[in-house]
Structure 1
């Protein structure tokens, strides 16, 4: 699960790290844009075995609950449970399909570096893998969350274009002090997004598809609200980082998400700064409810 509360900007990796609580990754050798080498040979047998365990479990979940675009992306990448993937090999597929590539990073990186990579069609993927005791819950994103959860959709042209446009919006959001508002769009529509396929709700968000239990919950549970995607509504809504979501937003198709990026965001930021965010789990007049949850939080 990606913890946006740790992000900020700084001149160098060292300056940025000085403002953070201890992070898992090794930032000592990273470049100015926070890239590192993957060093595929440094992963041990136990790490590859844990990858296989995670991959086999989540693949079964994905086959049942994931959007067809995500499953197509897995096939496009020739994803395998054999071992932790080679980022460069995956990047060759991505460059051919959508012009994206993977860049290895130590872990969480600051907003400005994150946005800049996305704007140039580079997706940052963490190099370290969680410990066995963290198999069901992780505070910081690891290689399994980043690669299994995010990379398959980078093979899909419309979603890949959306993610680049999101990165391009980053400079303006930082300049206007609106990164937290913009982060809600990433949280709800990249980490925890749902989509309708032939009338059926499917999951495509990385946060759920890399989780053992939230994927089924997001699609089948009667507890959360499922609300049709509306850009301003999403950007108005707080999110929870340490429990299942109480509200999910549902796309009709990825084209709607990409089209929303044509709107100027500055007026949205200005309006939203004048009122408190909508608490996670609440519904509001004007919401188009796909399904109402059991109770307001």
Structure 2
């Protein structure tokens, strides 16, 4: 598939440049490129609107964000593109590719996103040199963070790159992304037996280890969505249930997505869910997300309105931040391994805990360290992805966690703020006074309606 091919090209492209360091370019080729570019009229013209983004300047070097389209990437175009960056001694900080939404003549057309560092004096010439070998060269003025979806249909671009798979697993997973957006799956007797074992052991712990919101939702899922020992629920039924409860819906994914793509989906109240089940040889552990993790860990909490709002707010914070790794750490210690206080006891609300028998028991024991949830500390705390966490963060309650996260978001250095419009299911960048004014107008109408409701009640 084109995704696998493009990833290979991406790695080959990156291998030419040390990450976050200057590449060793060829001075002669650089001089030649500059001379050729400066001879042509377009090269001497000032950069157009939107073509002058410099993230930051330090010691005479500028950091740029570029997007461009490479037609038929199997040809020599990729090599020519790499030569431009190499000639200008560009240090590549980040690079990713996506298939072009509407390719012209071949499925090998790719869109590139590049964050690079180059000498200040070379910015214009580098861009004009790129325009000779690729198309649609743009720098991004109002988005100083990596690409994220702004309309719900943009999520179609977020399930192409699978970031991880387990080569030792049985890959005849019952997964299909064709036809019905949430296809019904016929699970085998062995897969159902694996589900039964996981379901029995975990459900025996929930009454004493899971938070009240989880228990309430789990009871409704058993009643309405076929949650039971001898049957694996279908995503179609579960998605319908979530949509009515909190506005969340499920979309099928074939494996572990890149963190940014997965987190971006939550901003639209969309949860990217796998449909296959873990290998029968290890029912209590899975190296990648599977339907046990999704349906038993995530779904019950997404059925709670307060937690659903918490998940969406946290996602919007990550989208507008230039540091996606802090966002990932926050996600890990809240949505996946979060704990909270209820009735004087510590309970689990994180999906990673609620879908893991061993870690759920361990996390609520006296063995790990429990710290109060503080986004500033949580965002920089290292986490373990190969063993149990030595430290877990405990929130006073969901409302307190959401309030702290919103307060933390105000401190994060970001070039813009985001607003989710539930009417159009889109994310708007609040980067002009008019956009802020429009948002305030909507809020005034909502406040009027609330005041009118209070008058009727009193």
Report the counterpart of residue 336 of structure 2 in structure 1: 191
Residue 98 of structure 2, aligned match among 11, 18, 24: 11
TM norm structure 2: 0.51
Residue deviations 1:227-255 (CA, integer Å, cap 9, x gap):
11111111120100111111011111100
| Helix, strand or coil at the partner of 2:273 | strand
Residue 310 of structure 2, aligned match among 162, 183, 188: 162
- Residue 100 of structure 1, CA deviation: 1.0
Report the counterpart of residue 236 of structure 1 in structure 2: 380
- Residue 167 of structure 1, CA deviation: 2.1
Report the counterpart of residue 256 of structure 1 in structure 2: 400
| Helix, strand or coil at the partner of 2:256 | coil
Residues 144 and 210, structure 1, Cα contact 8 Å, conserved in 2: yes
Report the counterpart of residue 43 of structure 2 in structure 1: none
After superposition, the Cα gap between the structure-2 partners of 1:124 and 1:251, relative to the gap in structure 1 and judged at 3 Å, is same
Residue 190 of structure 2, aligned match among 28, 46, 54: 46
Residue 213 of structure 2, aligned match among 69, 78, 81: 69
Residue 131 of structure 1, aligned match among 279, 289, 294: 279
- Residue 165 of structure 1, CA deviation: 1.5
Higher strand share: 2
| Helix, strand or coil at the partner of 2:393 | strand
Write the distance in 2 (CA, Å) between the matches of 1:11 and 1:54: 37
Report the counterpart of residue 108 of structure 1 in structure 2: 256
After superposition, the Cα gap between the structure-2 partners of 1:115 and 1:203, relative to the gap in structure 1 and judged at 3 Å, is closer
Residue 352 of structure 2, aligned match among 195, 199, 207: 207
- Residue 74 of structure 1, CA deviation: 0.4
- Residue 203 of structure 1, CA deviation: 1.3
Q: Look at both structures and tell me which one has the larger radius of gyration over its CA atoms.
A: 2
Residues 165 and 256, structure 2, Cα contact 8 Å, conserved in 1: no
After superposition, the Cα gap between the structure-2 partners of 1:91 and 1:29, relative to the gap in structure 1 and judged at 3 Å, is closer
Residues 36 and 104, structure 1, Cα contact 8 Å, conserved in 2: no
Residue deviations 1:149-199 (CA, integer Å, cap 9, x gap):
0100111111000111122223223xx1x1111111111111111111111
Write the distance in 2 (CA, Å) between the matches of 1:215 and 1:241: 15
Write the distance in 2 (CA, Å) between the matches of 1:65 and 1:125: 24
Write the distance in 1 (CA, Å) between the matches of 2:203 and 2:96: 35
Residue deviations 1:102-124 (CA, integer Å, cap 9, x gap):
11211112234323321111111
Aligned pair count reads 255
- Residue 136 of structure 1, CA deviation: 2.4
Residues 10 and 16, structure 1, Cα contact 8 Å, conserved in 2: no
Write the distance in 1 (CA, Å) between the matches of 2:166 and 2:208: 37
Write the distance in 2 (CA, Å) between the matches of 1:167 and 1:152: 19
After superposition, the Cα gap between the structure-2 partners of 1:22 and 1:80, relative to the gap in structure 1 and judged at 3 Å, is closer
Write the distance in 1 (CA, Å) between the matches of 2:257 and 2:399: 29
| Helix, strand or coil at the partner of 1:47 | helix
Write the distance in 2 (CA, Å) between the matches of 1:116 and 1:61: 32
Write the distance in 2 (CA, Å) between the matches of 1:9 and 1:156: 35
Report the counterpart of residue 292 of structure 1 in structure 2: none
Residues 184 and 236, structure 2, Cα contact 8 Å, conserved in 1: no
